[in-house]
């Protein structure tokens, strides 16, 4: 299968950071190293030809017992070209941390807070990284695969 223009450009510019890439059902996916995330995102957004100016979605997946354990998933849309691209970033370690995209897309702010809340992945450079859905006293990160299903949280009294 021939590579789309987006993938070709990414491979051409960040050849050492690209781990894998594929195109399925008209959806381009590129898996890149964590260290290059901010640069790739900036390139996708600011390249005059590509112009991926819209951050559609930002989430994470917990592949328990795999190394690296987590994978960040970003979906970008180019409103000009009507192209979409999916960028995945494997993140691992006891304290998973990845660069924040809030400097490029302010919309990333709440998405990243949600990922932090549910998966416990920290974002370097995030202006206000705290829980967004659960309350501050909540213990653990509920969408992690090793979160105990029967766990009860401490009761929170009236403030």
Partner 1 sequence: MEIDTKGNMQTGFFTSRIDKMIGWARKYSIFQYPFVTACCGMEYMATACAHYDIDRFGAGLPRFSPRQADVLFVVGTISQKLAPVLVNVYEQMCAPKWVVAFGVCTCTGGFYDDYATVRGIDHIIPVDIYIPGCPPRPETVLQGLMLLQEKIQNQRQEV
Q: Which residues bind partner 1 (CB under 8 A)?
A: 134-135, 138, 142, 147, 149-153, 155-159
Of 131, 136, 100, which Cα lies nearest the Cα of 118?
A: 131
**Of residues 48 and 136, the one with the C-beta less far from partner 1:** 136
CB of 122 to partner 1, least distance (A): 20
**Of residues 77 and 143, the one with the C-beta less far from partner 1:** 143
CB of 60 to partner 1, least distance (A): 17
CB of 148 to partner 1, least distance (A): 9
**Of residues 48 and 158, the one with the C-beta less far from partner 1:** 158
Of 16, 4, 130, 145, which Cα lies nearest the Cα of 70?
A: 145
User: Residues near 119 by Cβ (< 8 Å), separated by ≥ 6?
Assistant: 60, 62, 70, 96, 141, 143, 144
Interstrand relation of 83-91 and 122-124 (parallel, antiparallel or unpaired): unpaired
């Amino acid at each position: 299968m021939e590579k789309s223009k987006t993938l070709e450009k990414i491979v051409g510019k960040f050849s050492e950071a690209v781990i894998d890439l594929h195109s399925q059902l008209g959806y381009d996916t590129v898996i890149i190293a964590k260290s290059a995330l901010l640069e790739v995102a900036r390139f996708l957004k600011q390249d005059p030809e590509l112009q991926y100016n819209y951050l559609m979605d930002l989430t994470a997946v917990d592949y328990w017992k795999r190394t690296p354990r987590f994978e960040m998933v970003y979906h970008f849309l180019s409103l000009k070209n009507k192209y979409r691209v999916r960028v995945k970033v494997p993140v691992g370690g006891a304290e998973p941390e990845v660069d924040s995209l809030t400097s490029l897309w302010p919309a990333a702010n709440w998405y990243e807070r949600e990922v932090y809340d549910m998966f416990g992945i920290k974002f370097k450079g995030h202006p206000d990284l705290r829980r967004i859905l659960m309350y501050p006293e909540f213990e653990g990160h509920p969408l992690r695969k090793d979160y105990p299903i029967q766990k009860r949280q401490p009761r929170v009294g009236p403030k």
